[in-house]
Structure 1
Amino acid sequence: MPNSNSQIPLAKQSPRVVIVHDWLTNMGGAENVVLALHEAFPSAPIYTSTYMPEKMPAFQNLDIRTTYLQKLPKPIRKLHKFFPMLRVKAFQKLDLSEFDIIISSSSAESKQVKKTRPGQIHICYCHTPIRYYWSHYNEYRKDPGFGKLNWLVKLAMPIIVPSLKRADYKAAQAVDVFIANSSEVQKRIKKYYGKSSTVIHPPVDVNRFTPARERSDYYVALGRQVPYKRIDLAVSAANKLGVNLKVYGNGSEHEKLVEMAGPTIEFFTDRFGDASDDAVTEALNNAKGYIFPAEEDFGIVQVEALAAGAPVIAFGKGGALDIVQDGESGILFDEQTTESVVEAIKKAELTNFLPGTLRRKARRFDKGLFITKIKKIINDYS
């Protein structure tokens, strides 16, 4: 018989996890990361500064908790991006003491959340150190992407950004573990925050796509139509070559892009002003190629294009270097100019890309791998 004094070891309790995201007002790659994090930890509530459920149907049945900014009148709340210091304060005020592990999904202020008791761990999945403070301040100062309000933002940036940078740096020092979404972001985390990080690429639903063997005669450009996305380069290159281009998305540059487009270019948006998933899936499944002129932190749509069998014509900086192998899964160009995009399209036209091979290359970014890697990090700190 066992010794009466022996103790049966208690089963290890799962840590209580919470997910914190900058804002939930439009769908994008970062929001898909949040959904995958929730799939990994389905009991975790999601905190965010502001939430627009009508634009976020994928979050409809999840436990979404907001900051006090959600109580602002809707017209003011919709302008939340003008008030970063309010978001800093809002995240700092959150009481997350009931949770053991805080996972912030951050390209802005969500990393400002505070640990409130011993033993808590803050893991930051960093989409990038805040671009308009650190890596791309000069570009944003030149063209902030607020349309008619650009003049106001340009005046305000030199006044408010220095203190916001200090607050962002201080918050980064309190993070226990950084996860970078790409090799480029890993470099930025080290450069601007002085912190080491592990790269885990964002999750991509590669099974959403079914590549057509016989490709159509058009290229695709896709994304928020804001200055740094440089969709104007795809439009001007298509104009110059006279190739068919389908442009999906919307943003402050939309009217400008429409005005400059020639007869071979079509624009598509849905009722929310963006591109619907079904339309994008169908377009990429049949596209001759995907044009990606931006320097992006990662660039999930590049992986989606490969999963759909479309080679990627991309600016050879940032996250593209983790995704595209020049001459194998696409063509990389060195300068953000119309001429460089034109030459890259010409090279792509002369290269034989096999849709099945491109799809296999996309599988290394599958959502299942992301979830496995995230769970391992959480287990290591539990």
Structure 2
Amino acid sequence: MTKIAIIHEWLDSYAGSERVLEQMLLAFPTADLFVLCDFLPEAERHFLHGRTPRTSFIQRLPLAKKRFRNYLQLMPIAVEQFDLQGYDVVLSSSHAVAKGAITGPGQRHIAYIHSPMRYAWDLQHQYLRQAGMTRGLASLYTRWLLHRLRLWDQASAARPDTLLANSRYIAERIQKAWRREARVLHPPVNLAGFPLCEQKQGHFLIASRQVPYKRIELVVEAFAQMPDQRLIVVGDGPSAPLVTAAAAGAKNIELRGRVPQGELVRLTQTARAFVFAAEEDFGIAMVEAQAAGTPLIAYGRGGARDIVIEGETGFLFAEQSAEAVRAAVQRFIAAPALSPAACHANATRFSEESFRAALITEVMG
């Protein structure tokens, strides 16, 4: 029997990468799980199905439970210390260092890449600005640290035998940063949580955490210029004041803040279209909207290119501006109505079952 090890970076919440890990564990129920550290709350451990992960020395460092990310500079060493002898296949789930695990001859290492470390590569300067470290000794040290991480990141990218990217966009980033080819395996989406609804109401919807790169204010600005089109905005976050300012005086825009999951599902199911202005690695919320039978109006970079079938399940716009959003919305309104059934059928490409089947074929083939 093939002996499999699964490596995940850290466990502290049940979020996007953990949903991928969950499907890996379901696909390979006898695999052993390795993580750098495990501080997952008891209430969120259900997806591990009783597994006790094997942890690294990061687990035992001072203040690690609350500040383990501060030990980023030690994580490359930590992942290299996992003893993986005796495993036929190593499957890593990596957005930082997991793909750097060391394997030997006769072992296959398949790395599922959520993204190369953005803060070490193309978003370094944005990261430094947001952290308030553009000058001074702290800035100099952080730049040196990120330089060292880049060197290790590129060198360790040669270790896996196979790289799987979660979208074409991430495959392009892998090629740019690591000069390696990656095959695309889209992440799994729980389609059952957003059942198909063919009866649409009059509102457009944007639902997202309100952080700068989501560019929610652009969508709000666009709808403020279209007073006859109703927009519902769901979510909150650091950019909420900017979003509120953009909506000031616009009677056609409703800011709902956070809403219960049931209400979010209902709003998504009945929306005329789901609007998305961010450049995402993939974009699970867009797939959920499609599962509900809701067309997309999305920025045409990042994962949206893999999800939207132009003119059939949605429309893409070419730049992040209120004018581009408004033009795309008007194009959507003028076009023949898009089929909710076609949108739902498109979403089935990204189901959990499809992900597990493709992954099993990759590992066992």
Conserved 8 A contact 1:102-1:123: yes
- The answer as to 2:157 corresponding to 1:172 is yes
Q: Displacement of 1:55 after TM fit?
A: 6.9
Conserved 8 A contact 1:111-1:172: yes
Conserved 8 A contact 1:186-1:196: yes
Alpha carbons of structure 1 residues 135 and 85: separation in structure 2 relative to 1, 3 Å: same
Q: Displacement of 1:293 after TM fit?
A: 1.0
Where structure 2 has 5 or more consecutive residues not aligned to the other structure, the ranges are none
Alpha carbons of structure 1 residues 55 and 172: separation in structure 2 relative to 1, 3 Å: farther
Alpha carbons of structure 1 residues 151 and 280: separation in structure 2 relative to 1, 3 Å: same
Which deviations, in whole Å up to 9, do the C-alpha atoms of 1:292-337 show, x marking residues without a partner?
1111122122111111111111111121111112222111111111
Cα distance in structure 2, aligned partners of 1:153 and 1:99: 44
Conserved 8 A contact 1:53-1:60: no
Conserved 8 A contact 2:210-2:235: yes
Cα distance in structure 2, aligned partners of 1:113 and 1:221: 39
Q: TM-score, normalised by structure 2?
A: 0.86
Count of aligned pairs: 354
Match of 1:7 in 2: none
Conserved 8 A contact 1:91-1:110: yes
Match of 1:319 in 2: 303
- The answer as to 2:95 corresponding to 1:111 is no
Q: TM-score, normalised by structure 1?
A: 0.83
Match of 1:159 among 144, 151, 166: 144
Equivalent runs, 1:125-164 vs 2, <5 Å: 125-142=112-129, 144=130, 150-152=131-133, 155=139, 157-164=142-149
Q: Displacement of 1:126 after TM fit?
A: 0.8
Conserved 8 A contact 1:229-1:294: yes
Conserved 8 A contact 2:22-2:48: no
Q: Secondary structure at the match of 1:22?
A: strand
Which deviations, in whole Å up to 9, do the C-alpha atoms of 1:214-259 show, x marking residues without a partner?
2123333233433222223233333343444444445443454345
Alpha carbons of structure 1 residues 157 and 251: separation in structure 2 relative to 1, 3 Å: farther
Match of 1:309 in 2: 293
Moved more, 167-176 or 240-249: 240-249
Given residue 38 of structure 1, which amino acid in structure 2 is its aligned partner?
L
Q: Displacement of 1:57 after TM fit?
A: 5.0
Match of 2:185 in 1: 200
Match of 1:257 in 2: 243
- The answer as to 2:283 corresponding to 1:299 is yes
Alpha carbons of structure 1 residues 37 and 158: separation in structure 2 relative to 1, 3 Å: same
Match of 1:190 among 161, 175, 178: 175
- The answer as to 2:10 corresponding to 1:29 is no
Match of 2:312 among 328, 339, 351: 328
Alpha carbons of structure 1 residues 225 and 322: separation in structure 2 relative to 1, 3 Å: same
Alpha carbons of structure 1 residues 141 and 276: separation in structure 2 relative to 1, 3 Å: farther
Conserved 8 A contact 1:310-1:358: yes
Q: Secondary structure at the match of 2:132?
A: helix
Conserved 8 A contact 2:4-2:89: yes
Q: Displacement of 1:276 after TM fit?
A: 5.7
Conserved 8 A contact 2:312-2:339: no
Cα distance in structure 1, aligned partners of 2:110 and 2:223: 43
Q: Displacement of 1:177 after TM fit?
A: 0.8
Cα distance in structure 1, aligned partners of 2:353 and 2:118: 29
Match of 2:206 in 1: 221
Conserved 8 A contact 1:87-1:109: yes
- The answer as to 2:57 corresponding to 1:68 is yes
Alpha carbons of structure 1 residues 209 and 164: separation in structure 2 relative to 1, 3 Å: same
Given residue 243 of structure 2, which amino acid in structure 1 is its aligned partner?
L
Cα distance in structure 2, aligned partners of 1:98 and 1:313: 49
Match of 1:3 in 2: none
Conserved 8 A contact 2:13-2:41: no
Cα RMSD after superposing both structures: 2.6
Given residue 297 of structure 1, which amino acid in structure 2 is its aligned partner?
D
Given residue 152 of structure 1, which amino acid in structure 2 is its aligned partner?
M
Alpha carbons of structure 1 residues 72 and 254: separation in structure 2 relative to 1, 3 Å: farther
Match of 2:77 among 74, 89, 102: 89
Q: Secondary structure at the match of 2:150?
A: helix
Moved more, 334-343 or 226-235: 226-235
